[in-house]
Amino acid sequence: MTSDSILDISLILISELDKVYIDYEPLCDTPDLFSLDEDYIYEEQWHSSDEVQSVCDVADRLTNLLKLKVFQLRIRLPEKDEYIPAWKWANKYPDYLTSEIAVLVPDISNNCRIVTKLMDESGYKFTRRTTCEDEKQRTWLLLFFVPKKQESIREMIVKYHKYAYYTAPSYNADSIEKYGILAGSANDPYGYDVQRIYLYLGNPSNPAYENMMMSMSRKIQRNNEQFACNFTEYEIRLQDLPENVEFCADIHRFGPDFIYTESDIPLEAIRDKEEKSYVNKYNSKDDVFDLDKIPMSVLDKWWKDYRPYTLCISHTHPLSAPYIVKETDYLKQIERVKSIMVSAFELDDEEFVIVEGSNGLYAAILIPERDRNQEIIESSMEHLHFCKIKSADENVIADDKNRKWISLRFENFCPSGFVLPKARI
């Protein structure tokens, strides 16, 4: 993790880390009794509930029950992949009662199981975990949880938005024009089948939205080769929906411009429609990475494993200082850069490729769009005397699980007027 990510252990006083690590070791674990040390026992009668439980309530319970310090509990902001301390949440984001929660605990005893069980009872489900080390090489667990159910934000949505957009393959048009838009089964980001309709609040001409629809188009084509990439975009007047239609923030799947409802949308709320085609532009000859040709198991592994190294005292990063690579042969030079980057960031060979361009060879790297990955890669390549190629040469693409990937391209620093030799690999 980097200094701007969820937390930076190197910035926390070692005395604070020592106290937490020593004190935080559950001695017993029963449904109603948790013990963190010999002098502290907290007993509580608690029963799971299907009601929405706010971040503040869950944070208070965790703090009281598990004696968490301020730096151990952080909450993800709804509109971006950034986390803030729990105590800042209530005043800064009163409209969002739930969000992803990150809990940091020492990797000892049954901590992971106890925290996961407690969060499950509090209405949050475990999604993923990562590990990090402090200056004494002690391992810490960073556990992530998302709410099982979201709160309704209907009042806020209707107040600030008149329209939302729903895009569906055109072969569904006859059914929609007869019955309206019906809540169908969909997978949430963590594999649970739910009955939902996802609506877009932004401009449907936004490139990010078009990229997402092209990704969806590719997925449909794999199951139906005859699909011609034709879609129908429906404009929905939100104020014409029945009062019992609730909206929830889609903070985990597509992003802040999306909401979802578990109710059907009647015909009278559909104001207009427009025919659109989302042809898969990523299959062009200029595309470097085609996610369709990469097995999902490989993408899952890349997404899970890719964590830029922490640049701290206890970890010497291979690229923490400028690294000069000079070769007379350009192909040898770029292969040397590839070797350094693959080793430094534990990339697979397929994630870093050497590509022939109009002016010679250049590098292309595929990374997950999260944390500070792009910034770290760009900085590291600059240390190796490679700069990012701007504008259209940077692509953001989505896989079948709607995870965003960035395709970055780099070229060597060249003196003015110098043209790289053309070569083919």
3-state helix, strand, coil in the chain (%, to 5): 30, 30, 40
Do 263 and 298 fall within a single domain? no
Contact assessment for residue 71 and residue 134, using Cβ atoms and an 8 Å cutoff: no
Flag whether the pTM goes above 0.85: no
Element (H, E) at 237: strand 230-237
What does the DSSP 8-state code read for residue 151? P
> What are the residues facing 168 on neighbouring strands?
232
Query: Does residue 365 form part of some domain?
Result: yes
Do 309 and 392 fall within a single domain? yes
pLDDT tens by residue, 82-134? 788 888 887 777 767 788 899 998 888 778 888 888 898 888 888 888 888 88
Q: Which residues contact 206 (CB under 8 A, 6 or more apart)?
A: 257
Indicate the residue among 248, 279, 310 that finishes a domain. Answer: 279
- What is the token pair recorded at 125? 């489900």
CA dihedral 238, 248, 52, 192 (to 10 degrees): 130
- What is the token pair recorded at 98? 């739930």
- Phi, psi of 212, rounded to the nearest 5 degrees: -65, -40
pLDDT reading at 165 higher than 90:
yes
| Number of C-beta neighbours around residue 380 at 10 A | 23
CATH of the domain at 226: 3.20.170
Do 165 and 120 fall within a single domain? no
pLDDT reading at 415 higher than 50:
no
What's the structural domain count of the chain?
Answer: 3
Do 195 and 258 fall within a single domain? yes
Query: Does residue 421 form part of some domain?
Result: no
pLDDT reading at 48 higher than 50:
yes
Residue from 20, 105, 92, 82 nearest 55 by CA: 92
Contact assessment for residue 224 and residue 218, using Cβ atoms and an 8 Å cutoff: no
Do 261 and 378 fall within a single domain? no
pLDDT tens by residue, 314-341? 334 445 444 555 556 777 788 888 888 8
- Residue numbers of the domain that contains 304: 285-412
Residue from 231, 210, 233 nearest 221 by CA: 231
